[in-house]
Structure formats: structure tokens, C-alpha cells
Structure 1
Amino acid sequence: MKQTFPKKEHLKRKKLLDELFSTGKKVSAYPLLLFYVETPLSEENIAIQTGVSVAKRNYKLAVTRNRIKRLMREVYRKNKTQFQTNDKTFAFMFIYTGREVMAIEELDKAMLKLAEKFNKLHLPENL
């Protein structure tokens, strides 16, 4: 799997977002929170569609929110191969819950921890 994050992997459909937050499950690793739901995706050859979000309540300046979102997308792009889907398709939404802007190294550790928790929930026990 390539370490890219093309537009077809971005989560944008309103219907899918509503389903994600109404019936989805969540996993957390400070400062990241992952909402996910197993769902059929309209794009072919895509296992995961992903979105990122930062609360306006915590960061008033758009510049700060956009920087955090850029860092989150970059960390996800580098580590997306760590999320094992077993030929299922998922919708992911990463939400930044921290109160301070983390360094990319700390975000990387949190993303790996999230991937580990997600895989533990979705991998068959006999492997």
C-alpha cells in the first residue's frame, strides 16, 4: 500500500458522516479519538475513507486548527498501513482532543497506539 492520501480516500459524504457518529464505535489514545464504522464505500479498491477534525471550542484560531489537521493527515498518511481491515471497508474520523498543539512525534506515537487498539478489536483471535 502506498503512503499517499488521495482525494478518493477523504471522507466527505454527509450520509456516511451521520452514520459514523450515530452508530459508529470509538477508540482513543490521547490526544486522538477515532470514530469508525464498517460500511460499504462508493469508491472501489479503497479500504478506508478518513476525515480529521479539531474542535473550534479548543482552538479559536483557524490557523492553529488547520495546522493540527495537516499534522494529523500527515501522521495518518505515514501510518495507514498499520490499520488492518481484513478486506472490509471502514469510515474513520480522527478527532483531536488535546488542549495544546502536540509535536508530530507525539502524534505519531498516538496514531500507532490507536492502530494497535483498532486492530486488537477487529483481528480474528486465532491469528
Structure 2
Amino acid sequence: MDESFGKKEKLKSKIVIDSLFAEGNSVKKYPLRLVYLPLENSSENVNKVAVSVPKRSFKRAVDRIKLKRLMREAYRKNKYLVTSNLYKNYALMFIYTGRDIWNYAELLRSSEELLKRFVEQEKMKDHEKDIL
């Protein structure tokens, strides 16, 4: 199982990010929100991931950077939930919605629940498409 989070997995395209917020779906598990969109014409076989912490909630840059680092690590440890259960590629944006700084263990648990909900939701959509 590959637990890396390399350069190819990072979501950087402004076009994809704009379409992600315009057309994407979301799943919530406090203090995280996941906005996702299936990637149609992806040349690489990887999910593209980005993290965001709002400046409105955390004025100090060190707090925002710390939370982003913890969120990336939590995704890196739990990404097997997405890669082993779903066969499409997705653009994923994790947004921190809480007002307090959570520690790593709580964020890891929350991101695991969030990714499980995401996988369950996408499997239901695929199942509904198969029925119709």
C-alpha cells in the first residue's frame, strides 16, 4: 500500500478548482468538509487533493500552516479508503470548518470518517446508475 503524497497527487489547476466549487458535491464531518468532483479526462491514475484553512477563522499563518500540514498527513494515512474502494479518479478539496485547532489524533479520526462517508456516497451513486 502506497502511503506517499507526491507532486502528482496535488491539486493545482485553477480550472479544476473552479469547476470543483461550481459543480462538485460535498460531505461533512466536523471539523472537515470534503468537496469532490470526478475527473473525467485524467491522464494519470491518481486522485488530486488540496487542503484549505480559512484566514477568517485563523488569523495567524502559523496556525493555518499547521492545520494544513495535519490535514495532508491525515489524508495520506487514510487515502487507501478511496483508492481501494473507488475506481474513478476524483478532485478532492478538504476544507477546515472548525474554529479551534484540533490535534492530529482527532483530525485523523475525523478524516477517516469523512472518507468513509465519501466512499459510501459514491458507491450508492454508482449502484443507482447500474440499476437505471
TM-score (norm 2): 0.88
Identity %: 44
How many residues were matched structurally? 125
User: What is residue 93 of structure 2 aligned with on the other side?
Assistant: 93
User: What is residue 52 of structure 1 aligned with on the other side?
Assistant: 51
Larger mean CA deviation between 29-38 and 107-116 belongs to 107-116
User: In structure 1, the residue corresponding to 2:79 is in which secondary structure?
Assistant: helix
User: What is residue 11 of structure 2 aligned with on the other side?
Assistant: 11
User: In structure 1, the residue corresponding to 2:80 is in which secondary structure?
Assistant: helix
1:56/1:65 contact within 8 Å kept = yes
Query: Using a 3 Å threshold, how does the CA distance of structure 1 residues 41 and 62 change in structure 2: closer, same or farther?
Result: farther
User: What is residue 40 of structure 1 aligned with on the other side?
Assistant: 40
Output the aligned Cα RMSD: 1.6
Q: Which runs of 5+ in 1 are unaligned?
A: none
User: In structure 1, the residue corresponding to 2:93 is in which secondary structure?
Assistant: strand
Question: How far does residue 43 in structure 1 lie from its aligned partner after superposition?
Answer: 4.3
Question: How far does residue 61 in structure 1 lie from its aligned partner after superposition?
Answer: 0.6
Q: Which runs of 5+ in 2 are unaligned?
A: 128-132
Question: How far does residue 42 in structure 1 lie from its aligned partner after superposition?
Answer: 4.2
User: What is residue 21 of structure 1 aligned with on the other side?
Assistant: 21
Tell me the distance in 2 between the aligned counterparts of 1:51 and 1:70. 11
Q: Which amino acid aligns with 1:101?
A: I
Q: Which amino acid aligns with 2:2?
A: K
Larger fraction in helix: 2
User: What is residue 72 of structure 1 aligned with on the other side?
Assistant: 71
Question: How far does residue 86 in structure 1 lie from its aligned partner after superposition?
Answer: 2.8
2:45/2:89 contact within 8 Å kept = no
Tell me the distance in 2 between the aligned counterparts of 1:45 and 1:108. 25
Query: Using a 3 Å threshold, how does the CA distance of structure 1 residues 66 and 43 change in structure 2: closer, same or farther?
Result: farther
Tell me the distance in 2 between the aligned counterparts of 1:45 and 1:20. 18
Tell me the distance in 1 between the aligned counterparts of 2:41 and 2:95. 21
User: What is residue 109 of structure 2 aligned with on the other side?
Assistant: 109
